[in-house]
Amino acid sequence: MKFRLTTTGLFSLALTLAFIASTDSSAGLPTVPTDSNNKEPVRANIDAANNDLDISQPDGIILVNTKVSGGSDYSTDPALFPSEFDIDYNEIATGQSPSPNTLADPSISGLAKQPLPVQAFIDPLTSYHLKVPPNYVIPHGTGPLRWSCVYNQNNVVMTPRSTQISITKSNGLSMPAPPGSKRAPHPGRPYNCGEMVSRGRGIGYGKYTVDMVSTDIRGHVTAMFLIAHSNTPGEGSEIDIELTGLDPTAAWFTVWRGSTQQAAKVPLGFDASKGWHTYSVEWQPDFIAWSVDGKEVLRRTDLWTADPRTPEVEYKLALNSWTHDEEEDLWAGKFYWPANREQPVMSQFRNLRFTPATLQQ
């Protein structure tokens, strides 16, 4: 889920930049068109695989390919793929019973042997007036341990205008698992954050779209993503749209395969923290394309994702707001509570929608 550049990665980055500066950078690298007079997003079609880094223009698209020990934090995040989901706790909180198309048994071992039907949906993400809406799970007392925050249900608020997921200060104490859960207590972090995970099953190829407002706070991340868990090492995959406060004028579009991350930083031509914009990812068997405000800005035809039509492969759709915990200057940076800040550190979401792909069988 999150981009990481280790010390080794920084050394490799420096060597790569030195190499590009001393040679013809067009040789063997994908071409990224740009227009210095055009403030709109740059579009690229990237077919070259195994490029560690491509910087075709100073203000153009940046590609980064990294391998991380253990892969994405989300591959084992108990909020997404547990042996025991806190689903009973959430049902009690909402007073709702699961519908036939929700997670009756969310563990991978309990999945249907054939993929479930893929259905379109439109969700304004407004006016629920419920602490936990029935078609989402709001994790509590869990989250990736490498972050500086822990999920708290109170940080997800649905209003008549949007869903707001805030960052708040925490006492740093461990957080017990909800009643009836077998999870160990979370060791606690200095901040609280939030996430909402769709209960719906049968997520597949098609176009996913959401309106978002991020922040310009270093270390704060606003995201929509799809993720597939796999019990086979290296076979899980993830597709991300992420906005970071370190540079709110760019978006990160990322695909994970196991422990390998293919990330692209794409200029937006605006400040994503200043107002509403629409972000989309179209996911097909032979390509993944990202769009901003209805205009395609990046298309990848060189990346692998787990096939959602494969039996026992299940994808989740999630929205979240969280704090990065690493001191680096390329991706998000480390989150510190802003001095003298009176307004909340908050991501906003509305108009989540999905249009299934039409595939030839």
Quick check: 259 and 68 in contact, CB under 8 A? yes
> How far is residue 318's CA from residue 137's CA, in Å, rounded to a whole number?
9
Give one word for 260, left, alpha or beta, with left for phi > 0 and alpha for psi -120 to 50. Answer: beta
> How far is residue 94's CA from residue 153's CA, in Å, rounded to a whole number?
12
Active-site residue among 40, 195, 235, 242?
242
> How far is residue 72's CA from residue 89's CA, in Å, rounded to a whole number?
26
Question: How many other C-beta atoms are found inside a 10 Å radius of the C-beta of residue 204?
Answer: 20
Residues 6+ apart with CB under 8 A from 202: 101, 115, 116, 117, 118, 119
The answer to whether residue 314 is catalytic is no
Quick check: 316 and 240 in contact, CB under 8 A? no
Question: How many other C-beta atoms are found inside a 10 Å radius of the C-beta of residue 343?
Answer: 7
Residues 6+ apart with CB under 8 A from 198: 135, 136, 316, 317, 318
> How far is residue 170's CA from residue 189's CA, in Å, rounded to a whole number?
7
At residue 21, what are phi and psi to the nearest 5 degrees? -70, -25
Token digits of residue 88? 């009973």
Token digits of residue 74? 């989300």
The answer to whether residue 242 is catalytic is yes
Active-site residue among 195, 238, 282, 326?
238
Question: How many other C-beta atoms are found inside a 10 Å radius of the C-beta of residue 357?
Answer: 13
End-to-end CA distance of the chain: 31
> How far is residue 185's CA from residue 198's CA, in Å, rounded to a whole number?
24
Catalytic residue numbers, as ranges: 238, 242
